[in-house]
Amino acid sequence: DAKTTQPNSMESNEEEPVHLPCNHSTISGTDYIHWYRQLPSQGPEYVIHGLTSNVNNRMASLAIAEDRKSSTLILHRATLRDAAVYYCILRGGNTPLVFGKGTRLSVIA
């Protein structure tokens, strides 16, 4: 699997937007970009995924660069419940998910 690079940690104020970056310069044409998050003491949960176009769902938005070498997960209005580790993962074909260390997001009230 192609690798991703994420900052170790980020901070955000409550009720403000959060932009979580992910670099994946070696992405292949068939790799999808997945985001999962892991709340404290819980298993990871799916957030969003995309291939080329920007994607929106009820949890977040995913902005994908035109060259697909980077992407950004956008939480439009951070809440305390969004404090978690966010994982950016590339997935192609039938390979299982391979997790990196992710970005630990802290939300300040």
Partner 1 sequence: NAGVTQTPKFRVLKTGQSMTLLCAQDMNHEYMYWYRQDPGMGLRLIHYSVGEGTTAKGEVPDGYNVSRLKKQNFLLGLESAAPSQTSVYFCASSYWAGAVGELFFGEGSRLTVL
- Alpha-carbon distance 12 to 79, whole Å? 9
29 binds partner 1 (CB under 8 A): no
Give how far Cα 72 sits from Cα of 12, 35, 67, Å.
Answer: 15, 10, 13
Residue 14 C-beta: closest distance to partner 1, Å: 25
**Residue 89's closest CA among 66, 67, 107, 71?**
71
Would residue 29 be called left, alpha or beta, if left means φ above 0 and alpha means ψ between -120 and 50 degrees? alpha
Indicate the residue among 7 and 92 with the shorter CB distance to partner 1: 92
By beta-carbon proximity to partner 1, the closer residue of 21 and 100 is: 100
Q: Which stretch binds partner 1 (CB under 8 A): 16-24, 34-42, 57-65, 70-78?
A: 34-42
Residue from 29, 42, 53, 58 touching partner 1 (CB under 8 A): that is: 42
**Largest separation between any pair of C-alpha atoms in the chain:** 41
Q: Is 87 in the site for partner 1 (CB under 8 A)?
A: yes
41 binds partner 1 (CB under 8 A): yes
How far is the C-alpha of 49 from the C-alpha of 75, rounded, in Å? 14
91: contact with partner 1 by CB under 8 A: yes
Interface residues with partner 1 (CB under 8 A) are 30-32, 36, 41-46, 49, 87, 91-94, 96-102
